[in-house]
Every structure is written in structure tokens, then in C-alpha cells.
Amino acid sequence: MKKKILLIYTGGTIGMIKGNSKNTLIPFNLDELLRAIPELKNDELDLKNISIRNPIDSSNMNLTVWVEMAQLIEENYEEHDGFVILHGTDTMAFSASAMSFMLENLNKAVIFTGSQIPIGVRRTDAKENLITSVEIAASGKVKEVCVYFEDQLYKGNRTVKINTEHFEAFESPNYPILAEAGVNIKYKSYLGKGSEKKLKLNTKMSNNVAVLKLFPGIRIETIKAIIGSAKGIVIESYGAGNAPTNSDFLRLFENATANGKILINITQCLHGSAIEGKYETSELFRKSGVICGRDLTTEAAITKLMFLLGKGLSNEVIKEQLQTNLRGEITN
């Protein structure tokens, strides 16, 4: 029987052409995109496509579009064997992380892909990325949210964008790749096993979150403003989770947690982890009730906070869940 794969088009460079009035890239029709890749026609594939209502540049990605994407997957889940989401690269890691939390009990492939060069340009990387993503989605070997880009399959909520100029645009800094495409596609043992439970959709996401990136000389007033702006705050600290040993910092974080704020500490470094209490300069966070986010990416930390806050849980449960590996996003 033919494998049924659904392409979901959200916009992005992969489906862009130059507009007539301005020399800028704008999204174009998905049918035109598919006509540009005749290799997708295959006797073993039943390939369908659908688009979000208003395809966008991924810089305009928001919670409403995430909900629309998740709902399209739910509505078509039983009739299809896998899904490929065509998405701009700038916020792809955020969207892949968000989908991993929104699609609970997933047992089919949801592959995000895109390109650095538009489909209509001679040297485009779009064709290979899309063709291989479809093949992976149809393989039956992948049962989770992933990002496929330039011969590598990454766990979605472990992925970060690292380059704007090279085809190798993404990396999974703290988790092994799930598959590598060469002459053959080699699948690794780290692939998720999927779930036998019924798919559950989580669409209540809260954007009452903020990111606080520490830097030398940061003012207390700046930290106060960021913490005061949101319920959940991701702190990007130095090295293995360190911050200045400043009594003003300690009081500020203590007051924030005492007043119901949820703060989670991750490292600014691409590789490695925040480690609670490794250095004296990390004691500040432990003493003030800040959660240690270990090796969460910024994208996963933000979207996990959005997901948990949207569920209306108590602060105690949210803090517990932030430290719990829900979708493979954090190393135990």
C-alpha cells in the first residue's frame, strides 16, 4: 500500500519567489513548489498538500500559527502515515520544540524542513531537503517531531539554528543526530519509540514569558523590567549556570520567586549544561529558588514554559515538570 504523507506549507525561504513591486521574497503557491520537484512523484507515495491560511515568513511565527499547524496534524492524523512541515529556518527550532509539547502521544513522523536558498534558484538546497524529509516521514522509523536539514535528522526540541550562510544551518548541540542521509539513510538507535496512546492536542500555550540574557555590566533596573514583564522567565547565564555574586541579584530573584514568578536557568553556551551548585557563582540561583534547566536549549525552555503555563498548573507542578524529561528535551 502507498504511504500517505501530508505536506503542510507555512511559508519560508523554501517556497519564496521575488515579488513584482519590490525586490523582496514573498511566499508562493504550494502547487507551484511541488511542480518544481517532479522527483516527489512516486508509485509508493500518496502525497497530499495543504497550506496554513496565510503563509508567512517564519520571523512572523506566533502562537496562533502553532495552534493552526497542530490542528491540521490532528485533523489529518488518522488518514496519513507521516507529516512534513515546510517552514522558514529562522524560527524552525522554536516551532519544532513547540510541536513536540503540543502533540502529546505522537506515534508518527512530523518532520520540519526548509531551505537556505529559494526553490526557484539554481543552487537551491530545497529539493534535497524536501525529498529526503518525505522519504523519512514515509519510512515508519520516525515517530516524533524532528528537523531535517542538509543530510541530518535532528530531534526537534534539541535543535538550534547556528548559521545563516551555510547549508549546514542547524545543530543538535547536546543530543546525537537521529539519522544521516548519504547513499542510504542511516537511522540511529536514539530515535524515539512513539506512543500507543491516542494523540492528544495541547493548544493552550501562554506567551507570558521572557528571556533574560546576562551580560557583564547589566543593570538591576534592566533585570527588574524583564522579570516584571512576564510570569515565566528563562535566564541565560554564564558557563555552567553562573551569575554575579551580588546581593542585589539574590534579593531580586528571591523576591521574584516569592511573588509567584517561575525562573529557569540555562547556559548561554551552545554546548554543555547548567549545573546547580557547581561553582559558588551558581549558588545565587539555588538559594533564590530558580530552577536549573540543565541542557535545555533556549527554544525548548521557552516553548516548554509556554506549554506548562498554558495548562493552568500550580507553580509547584510547573517547577517539577520543568525539571522532568517530557519529550526528550532534557537530559536526565
Q: How far apart are CA 331 and CA 324, in angstroms?
A: 9
Q: Which three cell numbers stand for residue 268?
A: 548561554
CB–CB of 329/296 below 8 Å?
yes
Strand 170-171 and strand 232-237: the pairing is unpaired
Buried b (16+ CB within 10 A) or exposed e, 267-304: bbbeeebbbbeeeebbbbbeebbbbbbbbbbbbbbbbb
Tell me how far apart the alpha carbons of residues 25 and 182 are, in angstroms, rounded to a whole number: 31
Q: Is 215 exposed, middle or buried (0-12, 13-18, 19+ CB in 10 A)?
A: exposed
Q: Is 13 noted as a catalytic residue in this protein?
A: yes
Residue of 10, 13, 159, 297 marked active site = 13
**Grid cell listed for 325:** 524529561
Q: What is the DSSP letter of 169?
A: -
CA distances from residue 270 to 29, 267, 298, 329 in whole angstroms, order as listed: 36, 8, 10, 15
Question: Is the Cα dihedral 221, 61, 17, 123 positive or negative?
Answer: positive
Query: What's the N-to-C CA distance of the chain in angstroms?
Result: 40
Q: Which runs of consecutive H residues, i.e. helices, occur in 159-246? A: 220-228
Q: Which residues are annotated as catalytic? A: 13
